[in-house]
Amino acid sequence: SQTIHQWPATLVQPVGSPLSLECTVEGTSNPNLYWYRQAAGRGLQLLFYSVGIGQISSEVPQNLSASRPQDRQFILSSKKLLLSDSGFYLCAWSVPGRETDTQYFGPGTRLTVL
Amino acid sequence: AQSVAQPEDQVNVAEGNPLTVKCTYSVSGNPYLFWYVQYPNRGLQFLLKYITGDNLVKGSYGFEAEFNKSQTSFHLKKPSALVSDSALYFCAVSRLSGTYKYIFGTGTRLKVLA
């Protein structure tokens, strides 16, 4: 069966510090991968998605970047965090080419920027 | 513009009573429709999806949803609510312009009262 991991689970960082959040998927090959941000416990905003190694699409211009160095690894980064980067970050995966396109989410990372 | 609406910010229902969480959509073509549930500080859990076929879809934990093409709705239902069903529920639509991306609704908080 497939599983998705995110770490760390929680993170408190000062403004201006760098960020690296990691997401890995087990039990599947060449998944589509997604990064979302959830602010104020409500709406989800798609930040990045990837259909393969090194292939990243950015949805919203911002202070963040994403990379996919390996097939099942997706990293969210920032060089200098802003207060507005605080939120709950969710990684998700789906199986490409399947008609259902169901996305499966990881447990999330709670980021607080002070 | 393509969109998903969850018109109720919060739904309160007594334990044992039927529950309905509403979702309407506005997209071109034939979308795939999904329901997810989120418990506090957790990732989203997939409940059910509509792709094609029978308009009544059954999912996890006794939930079901009815697809109504003429009303462009996909309401989530459960015949008898449990206190443990209290959570945040999201409706989502995919297959937008041939992509794998989702549009999420803003979420509905369900509170089941004992």
| Mean residue pLDDT across chain B | 92
Chain A nearest-CA residue for B106: A43
Lowest mean pLDDT among A10-24, A42-56, A94-108, B45-59: A94-108
pLDDT, residue A62, reads 79
A68 pLDDT above the threshold of 90: yes
Query: What residues of A are in the B interface, CB distance below 8 Å?
Result: 6, 32, 41-44, 46, 49, 51, 59, 88, 90, 92, 94, 96, 99-108, 110
A32 pLDDT above the threshold of 80: yes
Are A108 and B42 an interchain contact pair (Cβ–Cβ within 8 Å)?
A: yes
For residues B35-52, average pLDDT = 93
- Residues of A in Cβ contact (< 8 Å) with B48: none
* Residue type at position A94: S
Give dist(CA A76, CA A55) in Å, integer: 14
* Whole-number Cα distances in Å, B22 to A16, A43, A100, B64, B85: 41, 16, 22, 12, 16
Are A101 and B44 an interchain contact pair (Cβ–Cβ within 8 Å)?
A: no
The nearest CA of chain B is from the CA of A67 a distance in Å of 18
Give dist(CA B86, CA B32) in Å, integer: 25
B20 pLDDT above the threshold of 70: yes
B1 pLDDT above the threshold of 80: no
- Residues of A in Cβ contact (< 8 Å) with B35: none
Cβ-Cβ pairs closer than 8 A, A with B, add up to: 53
- Residues of A in Cβ contact (< 8 Å) with B94: 101, 103
User: A53: which DSSP letter?
Assistant: T
Are B41 and A110 an interchain contact pair (Cβ–Cβ within 8 Å)?
A: yes
For residues B68-80, average pLDDT = 96
Question: Class assignment of domain A3-113?
Answer: mainly beta
Are B88 and A41 an interchain contact pair (Cβ–Cβ within 8 Å)?
A: yes
At B101, the pLDDT band (50, 70, 90 cuts) reads confident
Question: Class assignment of domain B3-113?
Answer: mainly beta
A99 pLDDT above the threshold of 60: no
Better-predicted residue by pLDDT, A54 or B31: A54
Give dist(CA A96, CA A94) in Å, integer: 6
Are A103 and B41 an interchain contact pair (Cβ–Cβ within 8 Å)?
A: no
- Residues of B in Cβ contact (< 8 Å) with A44: 44, 90, 104
Better-predicted residue by pLDDT, B103 or B90: B90
For residues B78-89, average pLDDT = 97
- Tell me the per-residue pLDDT of A101-114, one tens digit each, with 9 for 90 and over: 789 999 999 999 99
Better-predicted residue by pLDDT, B30 or B79: B79
* Residue type at position A68: R
* Residue extents of the structural domains in chain A: 3-113
Whose tokens are 């989203």? That residue is: B44
At A41, the pLDDT band (50, 70, 90 cuts) reads low
For residues B61-80, average pLDDT = 96
Kindly tell me the burial class for residue B109, based on how many C-beta atoms sit within 10 Å of its own C-beta (0-12, 13-18, 19 or more): middle
C-alpha R_g of chain B? 14
